[in-house]
Structure 1
Amino acid sequence: MRFHQLSVLPVLAAVLFADSESPLPPPWHDIRVKHTWNAVPPNWEALGHPPNGTTIDLHVALKPHCENALVDALYNVSDPRSPKHVLSNISPRTTYLHIPLFRFRYGAHLSKEQVAQLVAPHPDTLGLIKSWLGHHSVPSSSISTTHGGSWLKLTGIPVSQANELLGASYQVYRRIGTNDSTILRTVGYGLPSVLHSHVQTVIPTTYFASTGALRQTPRRRTVGETANMATRERVTSLSTRDFEVTPSVLRSLYRTAEYVPAATDRNVLGVTGFLKSYPSPADLREFMSECREDAIGATFEVVQINGGEYDPSKPDSEANLDLQYTQAIAFPTPHIFYSTGGDISINTENNKPASDDAWLQWANYVLDLQDVPQTISTSYTDFEPNLPLEYAETMCDLYARLGARGASVIFPSSNYGVGRGDCLAKDGSGVHFIPGFPASCPFVTSVGGTIDIPESAAPFSGGGFSNHFSQPPYQKVVVPAFLEQLGDQNDGYYNPKGRGIPDISAQAANFVVIDDNEAFLMEGTSCSAPAVAGIISLLNDYRLSTGRKPLGFLNPWLYGIGIDGLNDITSGSNPGCGTDGFTAIVGWDPVTGLGTPDFLKLQETLASLPSTGDT
Structure 2
Amino acid sequence: MRSLLSCLVLLTSFVSAAPSARTSSFEVKEKVFPPRDWKIHSDASPDHKIELKIGLPQPNFDILEKHLYEVSDPSHYRYGQHLSKEEVEAIVAPHPESLELVTEWLASHGIGEQDITRSSAQDWMTITVPVRVAEKMLDTTYHVWKHTTSGESIVRTTSYSLPIHLHDHIDVIQPTTTFARLKSFKSTIHRFDKETGQIVAQSDTPMISASGVSVDPSCNTTVTVTCLKQLYNATDITPSATINNSFGITGYLDQFANFQDLQSFYAVQVPDAVNSSFTVISVAGGQNNQTLSEAGDEADLDIEFGFGITFPINGTFFTTAGSPPFIPDLDTPTDTNEPYISWLDFILAQEEIPLVITTSYGDDEQTVPESFAKRACAGFAQLGIGDGGVGDGDPDPATQTCITNDGTNKTEFLPLFPASCPYVTAVGGTIHVPEVAVDFSGGGFSNYFSRPAYQDAAVSAFFENFPNGTFAGLFNPNGRAIPDVAAQADNFQVVIGGETGLIGGTSAASPTFAGFVALINDARLKAGLPSLGFLNPLFYSTAISGFNDITSGNAPGCGTEGFNATVGWDPVTGLGTPDVGKLISLVTAI
Please give the TM-score of this superposition, normalised by the length of structure 2.
0.88
Choose the corresponding residue for 1:216, options 152, 174, 185. 185
* 8 Å contact kept, 1:510–1:521: yes
Q: Secondary structure at the match of 1:476?
A: helix
- Counterpart contact for 2:241–2:312, Cα < 8 Å: no
Query: 1:368 aligns to what?
Result: 349
2:513 is equivalent to residue 532 of structure 1 = yes
1:115 aligns with 2:91: no
Deviation at 1:354, TM superposition (A): 5.6
1:423 lines up with 2:402 in the alignment: yes
Q: Distance in 2 between matches of 1:428 and 1:347?
A: 30
Structure 1 segment 305-454 matched on structure 2, within 5 A? 305-313=283-291, 314-342=294-322, 345=326, 352-353=333-334, 355=336, 357-403=338-384, 408-414=385-391, 416=393, 421-425=400-404, 427-428=407-408, 430-454=410-434
Compared CA separation, residues 542 and 206, structure 1 to 2 (3 A):
same
Amino acid at match of 1:106: Y
The residue aligned with 2:110 is 137
Are 1:303 and 2:251 counterparts?
no
Shift of 1:580: 1.5
1:205 to 163, 173, 176: 176
CA spacing shift, 1:348–1:242, aligned 2, 3 Å:
same
Q: 1:55, 1:158 within 8 Å by CA — same for their partners in 2?
A: yes
Tell me, in whole angstroms, the C-alpha distance in 2 between the residues paired with 1:423 and 1:346.
Answer: 28
Displacement of 1:137: 3.0
Which shows bigger deviation, 300-309 or 48-57?
48-57
2-structure distance, mates of 1:322, 1:329: 11
- Within 2, Cα distance between the matches of 1:389 and 1:179? 25
**Which residue of the partner structure matches residue 68 of structure 1?**
62
Matched, 1:170 2:148: no
Deviations 1:75-116 (A, max 9, x none): 11111111x3xxxxxxxxxxxxxxxxxxxx111112111111
Q: Does residue 1:569 correspond to 2:563, yes or no?
A: no
Question: Is the alpha carbon distance of 1:558 and 1:516 closer, same or farther for their aligned partners in structure 2, counting shifts above 3 Å?
Answer: same
Of the three residues 454, 459, 467, the one matched with 1:479 is: 459
Question: What CA distance in whole angstroms lies between the structure 1 residues aligned with 2:253 and 2:465?
Answer: 41
Tell me if the contact between 1:233 and 1:248 (Cα under 8 Å) persists in the aligned partners: no
Flag the 1:297–1:470 CA change in 2: closer, same or farther, 3 A: same
**Identity over aligned pairs, percent:** 37
Structure 1 runs not aligned, ≥5 long: 1-25, 85-104, 610-615
Name the structure 2 match of 1:35.
30
Pick closer, same or farther for the CA change 1:175–1:349 going to 2, 3 Å: closer
Q: How far apart, CA to CA, are the structure 1 residues paired with 2:146 and 2:200?
A: 43
Q: For structure 1, which segment, 445-454 or 429-438, has the greater mean C-alpha deviation from structure 2 after superposition?
A: 429-438
2 CA distance for matches of 1:239 and 1:470? 42
Give the match's secondary structure for 1:149.
Answer: coil
In the alignment, the residues of structure 1 paired with residue 200 and residue 224 of structure 2 have an alpha-carbon distance, to the nearest angstrom, of 6
Over the aligned positions, Cα root-mean-square deviation in angstroms equals 2.5
CA offset at residue 524 of structure 1? 0.8
The AA in structure 2 aligned to 1:48 is S
Distance 2:96 2:147 in 1: 42
Answer yes or no: is 1:506 the counterpart of 2:487: yes
| Alpha-carbon separation, structure 1, partners of 2:530 and 2:258 | 32
Match of 1:592 in 2: 573
- Aligned AA for 2:419? A
Tell me by how many angstroms 1:229 deviates. Answer: 8.0
Cα 1:301/1:510, change in 2 over 3 Å: same
Contact 2:492 2:508 survives alignment (8 Å): yes
SS in 2 for 1:446: strand
Matching residue of 2:166: 195
Offset, 1:56: 2.1
Preserved CA contact (<8 Å) 1:264 1:332: no
Residue identity in the other structure for 2:28: V
Check whether the contact 2:392–2:415 (CA below 8 A) recurs between aligned residues.
no
Could you list the per-position Cα deviations for residues 417-436 of structure 1 after superposition, in whole angstroms to 9, with x for gaps in the alignment?
99862424454474211011
Residues 31 and 234 of structure 1: CA distance in aligned 2, closer, same or farther (over 3 Å): farther
Structure 1 CA distance for aligned equivalents of residues 356 and 266 of structure 2: 22
Q: Is the 8 A contact 2:392 2:557 kept in 1?
A: no
How far apart are residue 233 of structure 1 and its match?
A: 12
Q: CA–CA distance in 1 between the matches of 2:357 and 2:275?
A: 22
Query: In the aligned structure 2, how far is the partner of 1:195 from the partner of 1:584?
Result: 48
Q: Look up the match of 2:13.
A: none
**Residue 515 (1) aligns with residue 496 (2):** yes
- Displacement of 1:348 after TM fit? 7.9
2:248 maps to what in 1?
270
Asked if the contact 2:199–2:222 (Cα under 8 Å) also holds between the matched residues in 1, the reply is: no
Distance 2:198 2:560 in 1: 41
Q: Deviations for 1:25-48, whole angstroms, at most 9, x for unmatched residues?
A: x97442222222222x23333332
Corresponding residue for 1:97?
A: none
- The amino acid of 1:258's aligned partner reads D
Point out the more displaced range, 351-360 or 370-379. 351-360
Letter in 2 for 1:217: K
Of 47-56 and 59-68, deviating more is: 47-56
Partners of 2:457 and 2:274 in 1: how far apart? Answer: 45
Structure 1 SS opposite 2:171 = strand
Q: TM-score, length-normalised on structure 1?
A: 0.85
Matched length:
554
Q: What is the distance in 1 between the residues matched to 2:150 and 2:579?
A: 43
SS at match of 2:268: helix
Amino acid at match of 2:183: L
Q: In structure 2, do the counterparts of structure 1 residues 232 and 260 end up closer, same or farther at CA, with 3 Å as the change threshold?
A: farther
User: 2:238 maps to which residue?
Assistant: 260
The question of whether the paired residues in 2 share the 8 Å contact of 1:263 and 1:541 is answered with no
Tell me, in whole angstroms, the C-alpha distance in 1 between the residues paired with 2:375 and 2:134: 20
Are the aligned partners of 2:144 and 2:328 in contact in 1 as well (CA < 8 Å)? no
Distance in 2 separating the partners of 1:578 and 1:478: 27
Question: In structure 2, what is the equivalent of residue 8 of structure 1?
Answer: none
Q: Which amino acid aligns with 1:185?
A: R
Q: Which sits farther off after the overlay, 168-177 or 259-268? A: 168-177
Cα deviation, residue 147, structure 1? 2.7
Instruction: Call closer, same or farther: CA 1:29–1:137 in 2, change over 3 Å.
Output: farther
Structure 1's 170 and 424: CA in aligned 2 closer, same or farther, altered over 3 A? closer
Which residues in structure 2 correspond to 1:460-479 (within 5 Å)? 460-479=440-459
Q: Aligned-pair distance for 1:130?
A: 2.3
Match of 1:22 in 2: none
> Separation in 1 of the partners of 2:419 and 2:204?
32
